[in-house]
Amino acid sequence: MDRRQFLGWTGIGMLASSFPLVLAACNNDEEETATTEPAANTEAEPEIDRSVREDGFQAVGTIQDLESEGRILDKMADVLVIQSPQSQEIAAFNPLCTHQGCTVAWNAEATRFDCPCHGSQFDASGEVVSGPATKPLASYEVKTEDDWVLVKVS
């Protein structure tokens, strides 16, 4: 073995042996951050029961959230609920663009869904306004009950 090979293998060995130390240092920082951060919001917000009820509906957010934000995006259930600024009607859709599955964004000013990936646009009823998407967004049955917005996904 010549000197160049020896130094190469020695360098690789030193890098490999320091890898667990680097991982441990990163892991400790995350734990400290998690334990030293102050509590986010101590006000009593209602807890969302995400279980599917017997009638097939599940809660995705509160009416107050919908009114303040103009939309509710629940990525766990793949649901985007909007409230039309003109008619105040509530509608629920699958937020995945039918072109290639990017998550669409609700543009309240233009009253349409915009796909950030390839520029597809859908109107407030989920129909394609401009492509490359050719199929409308899947829509879901939606209703309000007490303070909750409920969506029937299946």
Q: In this structure, what CATH number is given to the domain that contains residue 124?
A: 2.102.10.10
pLDDT for res 1:
75
Q: Is residue 46 part of a domain?
A: no
Give the domain range for residue 111. Answer: 57-152
- Pick from 79, 116, 87: nearest CA to 100: 116
Distance CA 38, CA 54 (A): 38
For tokens 């039309």, name the residue: 84
pLDDT for res 148: 80
141 and 97 in a single domain? The answer is yes
In a domain, residue 15? The reply is: yes
111: left (phi over 0), alpha (psi -120 to 50) or beta: left
- Residues 91 and 21 placed together within one structural domain of the fold: no
Q: Is residue 31 part of a domain?
A: yes
Q: Is 29 domain-assigned?
A: yes
Residue 145 lies in a domain: yes
Q: What b/e string do you get for 65-99 counting C-beta neighbours within 10 Å, with b at 16 or more?
A: bbeeeebbbbeebebbbbbeeeeeebbbbbbbbbb
What CA–CA distance (Å, rounded) separates 51 from 61?
A: 13
Low-confidence ranges of the chain (pLDDT < 70): 21-53, 85-87, 154
Q: Do 30 and 81 lie in a common domain?
A: no
Q: Are residues 82 and 136 in the same domain?
A: yes
Q: How far apart are CA 119 and CA 139, in angstroms?
A: 20
pLDDT digits (tens, 9 = 90+) for 24-52: 666 654 444 444 444 455 454 556 666 66
Count structural domains, the chain.
2
pLDDT of residue 86: 65
d(CA 39, CA 44): 12
| Residues 96 and 131 placed together within one structural domain of the fold | yes
Residues 124 and 68 in one domain: yes
**φ/ψ of residue 132, rounded to 5:** -85, -10
131 lies in the same domain as 80: yes
